[in-house]
Chain A
Amino acid sequence: MNDRIKRIYIPMTETSFYILFSLQEEMHGYSIGTLVEEITGGDISISPGTMYGSLSKMEKDGLINFIREEENRKIYKISELGKLILHKEIKRIERLYKNSKGVNLSE
């Protein structure tokens, strides 16, 4: 993994995280948005301009692959590089979570 990709995506924004996370299954832009809204209880909604920009950037950086087009909707899926980055992010967030719960600073 090159440094540029690491610098951009680790850590990544919540929006990027959820997009990449969703793309473990083949999906198109709008269905990603619906899924993200559903699993975040409506807290995160991704507008189409932002969704388009994120998908194009991730495709250019090789994190996701364009699979095929269905009725003018582009379907994407996470790539091997994308999986690697997602895994690193999940590890980082797990550590964050564990530390925030388990380490008592006053001791």
Chain B
Amino acid sequence: MNRTIREFKLFLITDYEKEEEYLTRMSKKGYRLKKVTFPGFYTFEVVEPEDIVYRLSFKNPMESDFKNYIVLFQDSGWEYIFEYMGWSYFRKNESEENTEIFSNHESRVEEVNKVFKSRFLPILIIFTFSIFPSAMDVFSGSFPHKGYHITNFASIFIIFVYILYIFLITYCGYGLYKLRRKYSIK
């Protein structure tokens, strides 16, 4: 049984390429990815340094063709490690041929669009219809509606979530924009 180490790293939905680089870097130092635990604990096995490329792809594991999807990657020489939060983790020896999981920019843009639709859009909808109106109530003084004594805490909580969402939307929105620009054909 190999020794393991654990590192905390937070990668948001638009950081998947940075996460691939991080895992690839770790493998060169002799750390082989074992598991990821919410919200960002990476467990590595301590091994010899290896030249291994890590790739992440976004695919809902509840979809009926998930197994077919994984087998297609395995056929192409990728080791499927696990699935975490909708991301499938793959690795391959750097010396093997074709260490990319996408061979053109169109399919990379499609991947970005998939992340936008299933991850970014829900955040935006929740913000617009729930968090933003609640925060406005707090700002305008119409919250608390009645004088419960916990309402001060509730107000602070709402403002905290409001700020968190603004950060998320700005960070991921800009991340999506950058990814799209990087891979747009023109």
Whether B72 and A51, one on each chain, are in contact in the complex, defined by CB atoms closer than 8 angstroms, is yes
Residue of A nearest to B107 (CB): A50
Whether B69 and A47, one on each chain, are in contact in the complex, defined by CB atoms closer than 8 angstroms, is no
- Closest chain-B Cβ to A36's Cβ sits at a distance in Å of 10
Collect the chain A residues with CB atoms within 8 Å of residue B110's CB. Answer: 53
A73 to B75, CA, bound (A): 10
User: Does B100 have its Cβ within 8 Å of any Cβ on chain A?
Assistant: yes
In residues 7-66 of chain B, which contact A (Cβ within 8 Å)? 57, 65
A51 to B57, CA, bound (A): 13
A54 to B72, CA, bound (A): 13
User: Does B103 have its Cβ within 8 Å of any Cβ on chain A?
Assistant: yes
What are 22 pairs between A and B in contact, CB < 8 Å?
A13-B104, A13-B106, A15-B103, A15-B104, A45-B98, A47-B76, A47-B98, A47-B100, A47-B103, A48-B75, A49-B73, A49-B101, A49-B107, A50-B101, A50-B102, A50-B103, A51-B72, A52-B69, A53-B107, A72-B71, A74-B65, A74-B68
Whether B69 and A73, one on each chain, are in contact in the complex, defined by CB atoms closer than 8 angstroms, is no
What sequence of 0s and 1s flags, for each residue 58-102 of chain B, a beta carbon within 8 Å of any chain A beta carbon? 000000010111111101101000000000000000000110111
Given A45-B97, A47-B102, A48-B75: A72 touches B107 (CB 8 Å cut-off): no
A46 to B65, CA, bound (A): 19
Collect the chain A residues with CB atoms within 8 Å of residue B75's CB. Answer: 29-30, 48, 73
In residues 56-107 of chain A, which contact B (Cβ within 8 Å)? 69, 71-74
A54 to B110, CA, bound (A): 10
- Closest chain-A Cβ to B156's Cβ sits at a distance in Å of 44
Of the candidates A33, A49, A50, A71, the one having the most CB atoms from chain B within 10 angstroms of its own CB is: A49
Collect the chain A residues with CB atoms within 8 Å of residue B107's CB. Answer: 47, 49-50, 53-54
User: Does B111 have its Cβ within 8 Å of any Cβ on chain A?
Assistant: yes
Collect the chain A residues with CB atoms within 8 Å of residue B76's CB. Answer: 30, 33, 47-48
Residue of B nearest to A72 (CB): B71
Rank and list the top 9 A-B pairs by shortest CB-CB distance, nearest first.
Answer: A30-B75, A49-B101, A50-B107, A47-B103, A72-B71, A49-B102, A48-B76, A48-B73, A50-B103
A30 to B103, CA, bound (A): 14
A90 to B104, CA, bound (A): 22
Given A72-B67, A74-B65: A48 touches B106 (CB 8 Å cut-off): no
A72 to B100, CA, bound (A): 22
- Closest chain-B Cβ to A65's Cβ sits at a distance in Å of 15
A52 to B107, CA, bound (A): 10
